[in-house]
Amino acid sequence: MPDILDQARTQVLDGGVGLDEAGVLAVLRLPDDRLSAALQLAHEVRMRWCGPEVEVEGIVSLKTGGCPEDCHFCSQSGLFASPVRSVWLDIPSLVEAAKQTAKTGATEFCIVAAVRGPDERLMRQLREGVAAIRAEVEINIAASLGILTQAQVDELVELGIHRYNHNLETSRSYFPNVVTTHSWEERWETLRMVRASGMEVCCGGIIGLGETVEQRAEFAAQLAELDPHEVPLNFLNPRPGTPLGDRSPVAPRDALRAIAAFRLAMPRTILRYAGGREITLGDLGTRDGLLGGINAVIVGNYLTTLGRPASEDLALLAELKMPVKALSATI
């Protein structure tokens, strides 16, 4: 059998064809002394097929907490004893968050709501919020509102929503272990409608939910089949009060192996380092990820002004000579 990294160099780096499930699994099983070679190759693949630009994105929560679903990792579920209460954001604060995000040079501003799917109240809030942001800020607007109907997909397109985030969270085979109130297939169906609508698809998940390494490879292959524009890769940050609150974070080397493997499965996607990077990888996380296949970061946070994390990340991008993707290039 050829060495998996030799195979990936030819197939992924030269040919632009991502690794299949077996190939991803082989990368996830690489011994520690091959990890830096895997990250280096993933970085070359990212530079070759995506370029040096980094997409910077801000996120704001329009409705926080009190979600009726039972995703076992999520502190926003209203079914667990997690300390997140249901809170709605007002429109002026939403616009302020968009302004702060745009100031970083970010191209995307994602409006998120902790819901199973939107109801009429949420759609009304979204309509008003999008109009208010457009009146004052030049930025692409993305949304993450859970499971959609076709009519809601159509309305988001009318509103000019540029990208829709809906995570599959984990592999199809493992999903029923972490969510029982809706199915993986319901999520997939929303993603299928979003894709067909012409909106960009943003879909990722969480590593470290208790899935096996085989299921991690299965998940990468399922994402590659969906071929999303962007994949946010989270690492479990165990939240007190949730069913997964006592799990240990992913071992740093396993997290880095996952970053390399997901990049080698999806050479052209925007691979975004999302939640859990600090707890999983410490201060070195952003740098290692950005030199191992990651090409998007989230900056700032709702109602925190441009804090240290945003300016630190932007300084790091400058140091690594990775320009922030310009808005004009995305519209």
User: Which residues in this chain contact ligand SF4 in the complex, by CB under 6 A?
Assistant: 67, 69, 71, 74, 76-77, 114, 116, 146
Q: Smallest distance from the beta carbon of 190 to ligand SF4, in angstroms?
A: 12
Q: Smallest distance from the beta carbon of 215 to ligand SF4, in angstroms?
A: 18
Instruction: Dump strand ranges (E) for the chain.
Output: 55-64, 87-88, 108-113, 140-144, 163-165, 200-202, 205-207, 230-235, 270-273, 296-299
Give the Å distances, CA to CA, from 179 to 223, 235, 267.
18, 17, 29
Q: Smallest distance from the beta carbon of 191 to ligand SF4, in angstroms?
A: 14
**By C-beta, is 66 or 252 nearer to ligand SF4?**
66
Give the Å distances, CA to CA, from 331 to 102, 163, 191, 294, 299.
15, 12, 22, 22, 21
**By C-beta, is 95 or 302 nearer to ligand SF4?**
302
Q: Smallest distance from the beta carbon of 149 to ligand SF4, in angstroms?
A: 16
Q: Smallest distance from the beta carbon of 244 to ligand SF4, in angstroms?
A: 12
**By C-beta, is 205 or 292 nearer to ligand SF4?**
205
**By C-beta, is 69 or 200 nearer to ligand SF4?**
69
Give the count of alpha carbons within 13 A of 152, CB side only. 19
**By C-beta, is 24 or 112 nearer to ligand SF4?**
112
What is the distance of C-alpha 18 from the center of its chain? 19
Give the Å distances, CA to CA, from 308 to 78, 85, 94, 254.
31, 26, 21, 27
Q: What whole-number distance in Å separates Cα of residue 279 and Cα of residue 186?
A: 31
Q: Smallest distance from the beta carbon of 64 to ligand SF4, in angstroms?
A: 9
Give the Å distances, CA to CA, from 102 to 47, 112, 136, 200.
25, 17, 11, 20
**By C-beta, is 69 or 96 nearer to ligand SF4?**
69
Q: What whole-number distance in Å separates Cα of residue 86 and Cα of residue 114?
A: 9
